[in-house]
Each structure stands twice: as structure tokens, then as C-alpha cells.
Amino acid sequence: MSADQTQLAFDWSCRVLSDNGCGFPAPGLNSFLFKPLFTVGGFEFNKVMLLALVTTLLVVTFFSAAFGKAKVVPGKLQMIGEAGYDFVRRGIVYETLGKREGEKWVPLMVSIFFFVWIMNVWSVIPLAQFPVSSVIAFPMVLAAIVYITWVALTFKKHGFVGFFKNVTGYDKSLGAVLPLVMVIEFFSNLLVRPFTHAVRLFANMFAGHLMLVMFTVASWYLLNSWLVVGAGVSFVMTMAMILFELFVQAVQAYVFVLLACSYIQGALAEHH
């Protein structure tokens, strides 16, 4: 939890049965607010933007170092890079798109996967302690990239009429219910899809961070009230939540890329 979060959210003098008029300082939306690190011409650069920038530099630097001078007999860094690259390529892209169609999309999907994953992992890194993807703007931009790619690819593959059939689920065999299905599919694919793609990632990271902050604050609140047993239980829960969050962070990166691949697969599929 950052110093900004501490200042904005909590009164550390609060304790059980205190006479200063304050109770448990439950965290809320103020846990997601940060003071600007600096301001240039009205543009405010804060901690979340810094973490996003560092994430980008980490991904670019790591893969450049791992594959910049690739060797037949890989070193440790290249082995780690190849393991991560191969996980996304074989475990997500090939499984969804197949080897022939999927190979060209591997670089994009690897970039998105590790960018999302590292943005999520900041939540449990000391001093950072904030998942960048819990700010809706970042998942929205990534979802927009996938959405624009899907729309452009569908137009390129099928043309205007084919695009219309693709996004409406046109199928003459549906008979009388075809108009209703087409309306539902149209709104689902063109309007709801990018929204749910972004919100799924955002909501999980938002909720996870709020839970971590709550148990962390509860540990201090109970310890400050000399309720050592309760503070110990809350601390154990905090550790358990951190381990659970590590799992969720990886899963959300996996799901985000899996959905991106499924959308591209849908764009490439033939419709009759």
C-alpha cells in the first residue's frame, strides 16, 4: 500500500472501543487514488502511469535481452524467455487458432500476455503494491486493440456482407428466430464484447486489490487495539490472499489472451 493510499484512506489512530470517534477505517475507492508525481502543462503523471511505463520497459527489455542474440544452446535468460514464449504460443494460440493460422499472431499475443500479467503482479510487489489493470483505462485500451484487430480482420477476410453475417451469426437454418438471433448477436459482438473483455480483467484486479488492502488494514487495526489473536488471523488471511492473487493474476492474463485468440478465430472462420 502506498504512502498516498495511507494518507488518503486511513486514520491510523483508530482502534477498537477508541474514544476518538472513529471505527474501522474500511478501504474504498480512495485506495485507488494517487497524487501526481509531477505535472507538465496540465498533464498529471502519477504512480499508476509510472508502473505502466515500467511494465512496458520490462517486457521490451526482457525479450530483447533474451532473444536479441539468440543461441542454438540457450543461456538461462533465453531459456526463460523461450519457456514463456512457448507457453503462450502452444498453450493458447495454437490451441485456439491452429499452428498455420496462429503463428503470425504469436508475437502480439505474447506481448499482451506478459504486459497484462506484469501489470497484475505489481499488486504484490513491495513499494508498488497496486495492480495497474485495476484502473479501467488500461484494460479498455488493450481490449480496444483486440477489438479493432478483430473488426479489421473480419472485413479483410469476408468483405462487408461477410462481416455482417459474421457479427450477426447469420444462419438460414434458424428459421423464424433468425431475426431475433441476429439482433442479439449484433449487439453482443459489436457493443458488449469489448466491454466484457475489458471489465473481466478490471473487475478481478479491482476486487482483489480491495480485499488485500482490507485485510492489511484489519491486521494493523486489530494489532493497534491489542487484539493480537485477531491481528494474527487477519495477517494469515493477508498472506493467503496474496497467494490467491498470484494465481488469479496469471489466470486473468491467460483468459484475456485466450479471448483475444477466440475473437480472431471467429474472424477467420467461414460463414455460410
pLDDT greater than 60 at residue 4:
no
pLDDT greater than 70 at residue 2:
no
Q: Averaged over 88-107, what is the pLDDT?
A: 92
Q: Averaged over 60-85, what is the pLDDT?
A: 88
Confidence grade of residue 85 (pLDDT, cut at 50, 70, 90): very high
pLDDT at 16: 59
pTM as predicted: 0.87
pLDDT at 17: 55
Coil/strand/helix, residue 25 = coil
pLDDT greater than 90 at residue 267:
no
pLDDT at 5: 44
Domain limits at 171?
3-268
pLDDT greater than 90 at residue 179:
no
Measured distance CA(134)–CA(182) in Å, rounded: 34
Cell of 48: 499508476
Confidence grade of residue 91 (pLDDT, cut at 50, 70, 90): very high
- For the chain, the domain total comes to 1
Q: How many percent of the chain have pLDDT more than 70?
A: 88
pLDDT at 63: 92
SS3 string, 189-204, reads HHHHHHHHHHHHHHHH
pLDDT greater than 90 at residue 257:
yes
**Structural contact between residues 116 and 252, judged by C-beta atoms closer than 8 angstroms:** yes
Quickly list DSSP for 69-104: T--SS--HHHHHHHHHHHHHIIIIIHHHH-HHHHGG
Model pLDDT for residues 180-207, shown as the tens digit of each residue: 988 898 898 888 999 999 999 999 999 9
Which H or E element spans position 39? strand 38-40
**Structural contact between residues 189 and 263, judged by C-beta atoms closer than 8 angstroms:** no
Give the residue, 109 or 43, on which the prediction is more confident.
109
For 52, 153, 166, 170, the CA distances from 160, given in Å and listed in that order, are 37, 11, 10, 13
129-138, 212-221, 261-270: which is most confident: 129-138
* Helical residues (DSSP H) of the chain, grouped into ranges: 3-9, 47-67, 76-88, 94-97, 99-102, 106-121, 137-168, 178-187, 193-224, 228-268
Q: Averaged over 4-25, what is the pLDDT?
A: 54
Give the residue, 42 or 57, on which the prediction is more confident.
57
pLDDT greater than 50 at residue 114:
yes
Q: What is the mean pLDDT of the chain?
A: 86
Which residue type does 149 have? T
**Structural contact between residues 143 and 191, judged by C-beta atoms closer than 8 angstroms:** no
